[in-house]
Amino acid sequence: METLRGIVLVVHLIGFATLFGAWLVEALGARRITRVMSYGLLVAGVAGLALAAPWGTDHEFNYVKITVKLVILLVIGALLGIGSARQKRTQAVPAAIFWLIGIGTVANVAIAVLWR
Ligand code: HEM
């Protein structure tokens, strides 16, 4: 069970890396929203929900922290949706939406690692 939990954590981190990597490429490039960002968010979210249940570990869960991460994930999802709709209509993503996606992602990593 512990190994399986470890594997789900690896999948969670791959989802995060996919979201952040795709965003970083665009931050240094055309600043567009890409489908790869949504795939990363989906993978991180599904694996995160699986990790939020107490199995394969005996450590205590900080559910306030997990809820904050979930809310931020939902906000990032909404920004991806609104941003890509705008991109379709006007060929550009509002700068605030684009940057908030990256800031939200970094905030979730910081919360994951620093909030004990
Ligand atoms: C963009 C969104 C997210 C990012 C960037 C992210 C990032 C991370 C990172 C870097 C870790 C490893 C930290 C460590 O083990 O010290 C982690 C662990 C974890 N994440 Fe996330 N996360 C995200 C979304 C979520 C969501 C939505 C949930 C739950 C609803 C969640 C639940 C968890 C749990 C429970 C762990 C701890 C796993 C364990 O110790 O067994 N995460 N996350």
Span from the CA of 75 to the centroid of ligand 1 (angstroms): 16
| Whether the predicted model's global pTM rises above the 0.85 cut | yes
Structural domain boundaries of the chain? Answer: 2-114
Residue 116's pLDDT is what?
85
Residue 28's pLDDT is what?
98
Residues of the chain with pLDDT under 70: none
Measured CA to CA, the distance from residue 48 to residue 13 in angstroms comes to: 9
The CA-atom distances, in angstroms, between 98 and each of 13, 29, 41, 111, 114 are: 21, 12, 15, 20, 25
Please choose from 1, 9, 12, 74 the residue to mutate so as to test ligand 1's pocket, defined by most ligand atoms within 8 A of CB. 12
Residue 37's pLDDT is what?
98
